[in-house]
Amino acid sequence: MRYMLLICGTPFPGADDCEDPLDERTQEWVDEMTARGVRLSGSRLRSAATATTVRHRDGELLVSDGPFAETKEQILGYDLIECADLDEAIEVVSKHPVAKFATIEIRPVWPTA
């Protein structure tokens, strides 16, 4: 089963200007999970301030700058993994170094036809 890992937390100052590669511990996790064949893809995201929100309401397209919700926590990144079950997904996430300071939400992905 595929799971989307939504990595949520408070961005550090200057995060949008950061072009640095992943820190060593995170890169080690990426390398390990890729080698195991569990991690399919993933990336960091720019801050919510760079977001564009799109909605359709009452037949009208509404496009606005910024996130839909005003909150300190935002989605900082994501990983798409494939595991046998939720127990394996939890084991994979438990090894992710950002779990020490951020929240990682695990969501099953609907299968595609």
pTM over 0.85: no
Place of tokens 């438990």: 94
Asked if residues 9 and 100 have their Cβ atoms less than 8 Å apart, the reply is no
Asked if residues 46 and 94 have their Cβ atoms less than 8 Å apart, the reply is no
Structural domains in the chain, sorted by start = 2-11+24-108 (3.30.70.1060)
Torsion of CA 6, 41, 101, 36, to 10 degrees: 120
Cα gap 78→3, rounded to integer Å: 10
Q: The dihedral of CA 5, 53, 16, 8: what is its sign?
A: negative
pLDDT in tens, 72-98: 778 899 999 999 999 999 999 999 999
Collapsing DSSP states into helix, strand and coil, what is residue 11?
A: coil
pLDDT in tens, 95-104: 999 999 889 9
